[in-house]
Amino acid sequence: MKMLPPAEGGGLPVVASPSAPVIVSSGSAPRQLADLPKDELDTLAEEYGLEPRRFKTPQELVAAIHGRRQLIASLDRAALVDVVRWGRRPVPVNATQEQLAFEILRIKSMRFDGLSERGLIALARLRGLETGPEDAVPVIVKRLKKTEGFWAKVNRKRRAVLGSIVSGLVGESESSKEYQFLPPQEQQGHGGGAGGAHVPPRDRSIKEEIEESGLFGGIAARVKKTADQYINQKLDDIESRIDRKLDEIDRRLAEWRDKEIANRLRILKITLWASVIVATCSLIYTYLKVHFGK
């Protein structure tokens, strides 16, 4: 485990750039956490994947949150990205390590197909297991499945069955699209984006959504996603139509400009021809008058 740097002035955790592992300066963090009201502390603990009811005193909860922060800081960022890709969670490409961890903690899936070994180890550690690279993958999977409570497992299975039924009714095939990050977020304070509104993942199948969020939650998320897609598609259509119209207007104006200039030049040319003809006639007339008019 990485050792944390000594506490410096300020006290707010320092978040490093997304590409580098995030080191959280947590020297004064427990003191700050202890100052939080209980409900905020509970919410924070839930974000970190802890169950506040399991801790009898606020001091224990603060210590657990502090430990969880240290754990997240010690995890490999690439492993966290692997888990996010596997879980198809919507995160920006420059998400901090804590944001990645928060998204991973929302993943309830127990199907570990497609998850890399380092990702599996990171997931297991975030789910409270003491694992390392020396543990074999089947062993880690078995231990992960053991951590799931009986009723949680029953509920998950029930949701999976419901999801299969709904998926069969809807006739949706398994989504196999490539995972895409959200657009990069602007730099903000520690954990600023992680506690914000939870955006439903875009590429999961309805079966997986129902398995994770329940029947109504999954269907609602799917309806919302479909409505969003429809609106976005319509907005794109309108935008492209406006662009086409603007291009057409621009092209017609350019044509009108060229025609107008050509027309003006033609009028000028005719005027000049008339002037030259009249001047020539005048010249001939003057010549005749000067030489033969006397």
Which residues sit at the interface with other proteins, rule CB under 8 A?
A: 253-254, 257-258, 261-262, 265-266, 268-269, 272-273, 275-276, 278-280, 282-283, 285-287, 289-290
Per DSSP, the residues of the chain read -PPPPPP-SS-SPP---TTSPP----SSHHHHHHHS-HHHHHHHHHHTT--GGG-SSHHHHHHHHHHHHHHHHHS-HHHHHHHHHHHT---BTT--HHHHHHHHHH------TT--HHHHHHHHHHTT----TTS-HHHHHHHHHHHS-HHHHHHHHHHHHHHHHHHHHHTPPPP-PPP-PBPPPPP-STTTTTTSPPPPPSS--HHHHHHHH-HHHHHHHHHHHHHHHHHHHHHHHHHHHHHHHHHHHHHHHHHHHHHHHHHHHHHHHHHHHHHHHHHHHHHHHHHHHHHH--
From the CB of 235, what's the least distance to other proteins, in Å? 24
Select 139 or 254, whichever has its Cβ closest to other proteins: 254
Nearest partner of 16 among 122, 89, 94, 105, judged by Cα: 94
Select 230 or 287, whichever has its Cβ closest to other proteins: 287
From the CB of 183, what's the least distance to other proteins, in Å? 29
From the CB of 263, what's the least distance to other proteins, in Å? 10
For residue 92, with 0-12 CB atoms within 10 Å meaning exposed, 13-18 middle and 19 or more buried, which class applies? middle
Select 7 or 283, whichever has its Cβ closest to other proteins: 283
From the CB of 269, what's the least distance to other proteins, in Å? 6
From the CB of 275, what's the least distance to other proteins, in Å? 6
Select 230 or 256, whichever has its Cβ closest to other proteins: 256
Select 241 or 266, whichever has its Cβ closest to other proteins: 266
From the CB of 241, what's the least distance to other proteins, in Å? 21
From the CB of 55, what's the least distance to other proteins, in Å? 60
Select 233 or 280, whichever has its Cβ closest to other proteins: 280
Select 142 or 266, whichever has its Cβ closest to other proteins: 266
Write the CB contacts of 30 (distance below 8 Å, at least 6 apart in sequence): 62, 63, 66
Select 180 or 282, whichever has its Cβ closest to other proteins: 282
